[in-house]
Amino acid sequence: MSVAPFHLAIPVWNLATCRIFYRDILGCEEGRHSDHWVDFNFFGHQLVIHFKPKEENTDVHANQVDGKQVPVPHFGVILPWDDFETFSEQLKQKKIDFIIEPYIRFEGQVGEQATMFFYDPAGNALEFKAFKDTSQIFAK
């Protein structure tokens, strides 16, 4: 089965700041835009940030995974292993404040993967991960 690009639209209360974050920090190419939204090429997928006024309820939910508190909801992409290593080093150099620092999850087990989590400036949680063996992506 081939992988089709996904489309994801997320709310941001600080459109200008998030535009800089996705374009300049994450390196996503900017596409169409208006005063209320911006399209990005998010690693081959279409991500749209839409302005939405900031809500007072900022409760964060997390679930325990491999001994870490994983924020829910979150989104991201699976990168090739070498790209993950390069990207994580670039993010460290850019002083990203990680929720979960880059590390190997499920080490030595089925589904072993590199992963990292951080928030965008509007509080949307992102996860980037990589598998040395991509056949393990859906392994049980």
The domain spans of the chain are 7-51, 63-136
Which residues lie closer than 8 Å to 59 by C-beta, 6 or more apart? none
Those residues with Cβ within 8 angstroms of residue 78's Cβ, 6 or more apart along the chain or in another chain:
128, 129, 130, 131, 134, 137
pLDDT of residue 55: 85
User: Does the pLDDT of residue 57 top 80, yes or no?
Assistant: no
Q: For the segment 16-51, what is each residue's pLDDT rounded down to a tens digit?
A: 999 999 999 999 999 999 999 999 999 999 999 999
Options 2.60.40, 1.10.287, 2.40.30, 3.30.720; CATH of 7-51:
3.30.720
Determine the Cα–Cα distance for residues 76 and 104; give it in Å rounded to an integer. 17
Of 3.40.630.10, 2.40.50.100, 1.10.3720.10, 3.10.180.10, which CATH number belongs to 63-136?
Answer: 3.10.180.10
**Would the pTM count as exceeding 0.95?**
no
Give the pLDDT of residue 1: 62
Q: Check: CB of residue 113 under 8 Å from CB of residue 119.
A: no
Q: Which of 55, 51, 71 is nearest to 63 (CA)?
A: 71
